[in-house]
């Protein structure tokens, strides 16, 4: 499966009069995990949501600058948002399975995209559940409701659902913040595994999680990208005093 | 590190991490106490060596256990800090440095005990005044103590420049130690009966030289903490200022 690179150049983003992002430029390479960190309201989630045009429908929202995936402007005139989102999957903070069976949750994206062949769907569902490290736990109860799963399992189901349409990029908005430590560590292990096949961007408030799972870390503050560097560097000797204050917990 | 990324006053909501700051203060306080203790040990040990004061020597030997207990206590404080507070960036570098400084200070305490044991075994026999001068013993002991003090000041003031001064002085110790072999050999030729004392004296001189090496290590640790620069095994701390031909232990 082809993975993708992402690039943002001179991005400014406004919610009406409020400027949420100021001149942000960021390059994310293929097969890497990038963590976006920063205090609430710093623009990191806004930035994440720009990458699959989740902000499009917000009234008064306006983008300046350029965001490209594999060199292609995703805000270009001919871009189909549905096609973009097939390529750029998203996992949210709280697990949000559909009120359907485990199997149908994962099959949903495929059916919406017009896949009819039952064998194709079955094998893709299994593949996705395996990819999300959930298959062994659910293989005997695929027809049961997704709501019967634990929170951690539900979150991995949502990841499987995102994987089913074979995206090349996965966006994760605090994917483990509602999970207990065991489920969190499963999701983190999963991110580590998924990196081989996907480019991952993750927003997290958990500093240690950013340190554990990511290759690169971007620190946002007041809508600006303050520092973007290798994760080891950010957590051992950041270049900016503001970054140091944030990662050591001295402001927030 | 680049400062002032944002205009002054941007960090209105800068918070003080009470638990973290308290723990940092506590471990720094323990380290400062240990430092004073170790400095006292070295001062008394060299005094005992030069004057043959056995009483002082026994005091040093008796207090060595206290140095050890400080080392264990500081190790434990650092361990707790890592386990409970997950330090990163400057806090991480500081704790890593403190662990190493702690270990180096404890070794310096051992050397002081070793030096004192010379005087304890030869009560009333100070080192021959003329020989002392030839060996530059006073200069050597003063330099070692100055290095220990420079390190202490550098850490207390968080001043990398002061730490840098330590490396040059280590060179002086290395030279004096290097010269001591020939001087002592000559002395033994003239005073064959003093051969045993001279050998023991040389081992004390070696220990003073080692104290200098340990101080250089501490200075490297301080620079790593403050500036995130690794000087260990680099030209700056070794070769550029003359090298340590006598090696380290």
Each residue's pLDDT tens digit, A198-224: 999 999 999 999 999 999 999 999 999
User: In A, which residues are within 8 Å of B16 by CB distance?
Assistant: 250
Domain count, chain A: 1
* Record: contact A248-B90, CB cut-off 8 A: yes
Closest CA in chain B for residue A236: B89
Q: Is B83 on the interface with A (CB under 8 A)?
A: no
What's the pLDDT at B36?
Answer: 96
Domain encompassing residue A80? 6-97+168-247
In a domain, residue A45? The reply is yes
Per-residue pLDDT reduced to its tens digit, A120-178? 999 999 999 999 989 999 999 999 999 999 999 999 999 999 999 999 999 999 999 88
Q: How far apart are CA A49 and CA A29, in angstroms?
A: 18
Quick one: pLDDT at residue A180? 86
Asked if the interface predicted TM-score (ipTM) of this complex is over 0.90, the answer is no
- Would you say residue A141 lies in a domain? no
Report how many Cβ contacts below 8 Å link chain A to chain B: 65
CA distance A105 to A157: 8
Determine, yes or no, domain membership for A177: yes
Is A145 part of a structural domain of the chain? no
Q: Which of B35, B41, B36, B106 is nearest to B75 (CA)?
A: B106
Residues of chain B contacting A226 with CB distance shorter than 8 Å: 5
The Cα B88–Cα B86 span in angstroms is 7
Chain A residues inside the 8 Å CB shell of B20: 248-249
Residue A88 lies inside a defined structural domain of this protein:
yes
Q: Determine the average pLDDT of the residues in B110-129.
A: 86
**Domain B18-241 of CATH type 1.20.58.220:** yes
Would you say residue A137 lies in a domain?
no
Choose, out of A242, A246, A252, the residue to mutate when testing the contact with B (most B CBs < 10 Å): A242
Residue A197 resides in a domain? yes
Give me the CATH number covering residue A219: 3.40.50.300
Residue of B nearest to A238 (CA): B89
Nearest to A251 among B15, B86, B87 (CB): B15
Confidence of residue A1 (pLDDT cuts 50, 70, 90): low
| DSSP reduced 3-state for A218 | strand
pTM reported for the whole predicted model: 0.81
CB of A97 within 8 A of CB of A105?
A: yes
Instruction: Kindly list the domain boundaries of chain B, sorted by start residue.
Output: 18-241
For residue B73, what is the enclosing H or E element? helix B54-85
What distance lies between CA B181 and its chain's CA centroid?
23
Average pLDDT over residues B176-202: 93
How far apart are alpha carbons A90 and B204 in whole angstroms? Answer: 69
């Amino acid at each position: 499966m082809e993975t993708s690179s992402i690039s943002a150049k001179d991005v400014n983003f406004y919610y009406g009069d409020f400027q949420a992002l100021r001149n942000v430029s960021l390059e994310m390479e293929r097969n890497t995990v990038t963590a976006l960190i920063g205090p609430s309201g710093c623009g990191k989630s806004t930035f994440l949501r720009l990458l699959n045009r989740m902000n499009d429908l917000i009234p008064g929202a306006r983008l300046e600058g350029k965001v490209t995936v594999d060199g292609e402007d995703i805000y270009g005139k001919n871009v189909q948002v549905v096609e973009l989102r097939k390529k750029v999957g998203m996992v949210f903070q709280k697990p949000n399975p559909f009120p359907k069976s485990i199997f149908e949750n994962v099959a949903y994206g495929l059916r919406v995209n017009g896949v009819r062949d039952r064998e194709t769907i079955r094998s893709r569902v299994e593949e996705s559940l395996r990819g999300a490290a959930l298959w062994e736990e659910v293989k005997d109860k695929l027809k049961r409701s997704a709501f019967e799963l634990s929170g951690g399992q539900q979150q991995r189901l949502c990841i499987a659902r995102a994987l089913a349409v074979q995206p090349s990029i996965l966006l994760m908005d605090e994917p483990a913040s509602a999970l207990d430590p065991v489920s969190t560590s499963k999701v983190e292990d999963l991110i580590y595994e998924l990196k081989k096949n996907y480019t991952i961007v993750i927003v997290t408030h958990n500093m240690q999680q950013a340190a554990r799972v990511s290759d690169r870390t971007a620190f946002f503050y007041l809508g600006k990208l303050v520092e973007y560097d290798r994760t080891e560097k950010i957590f051992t000797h950041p270049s900016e005093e503001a970054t140091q204050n944030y990662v050591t917990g001295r402001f927030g | 590190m680049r400062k002032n990324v944002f205009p002054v006053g941007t960090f209105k909501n800068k918070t003080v991490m009470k638990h973290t700051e308290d723990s940092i203060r506590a471990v720094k306080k323990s380290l400062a106490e240990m430092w004073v203790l170790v400095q006292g040990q070295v001062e008394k040990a060299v005094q005992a060596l030069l004057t043959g004061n056995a009483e002082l020597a026994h005091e040093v030997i008796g207090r060595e256990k206290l140095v050890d207990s400080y080392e264990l206590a500081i190790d434990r404080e650092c361990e707790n800090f890592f386990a409970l507070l997950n330090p990163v960036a400057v806090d991480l570098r500081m704790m890593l440095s403190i662990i190493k400084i702690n270990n180096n200070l404890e070794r310096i305490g051992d050397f002081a005990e070793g030096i004192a044991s010379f005087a304890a075994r030869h009560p009333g026999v100070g080192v021959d005044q003329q020989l002392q001068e030839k060996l530059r013993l006073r200069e050597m002991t003063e330099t070692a103590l100055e290095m220990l003090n420079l390190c202490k000041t550098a850490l207390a003031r968080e001043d990398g420049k002061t730490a840098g001064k330590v490396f040059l002085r280590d060179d002086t110790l290395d030279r004096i130690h290097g010269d001591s072999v020939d001087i002592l050999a000559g002395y033994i030729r003239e005073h064959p009966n003093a051969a045993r004392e001279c050998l023991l004296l040389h081992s004390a001189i070696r220990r003073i030289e080692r104290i200098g090496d340990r101080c250089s290590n501490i200075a490297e640790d301080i620079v790593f903490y403050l500036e995130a620069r690794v000087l260990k095994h680099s030209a700056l701390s070794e070769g550029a200022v003359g090298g340590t031909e006598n090696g380290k232990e």
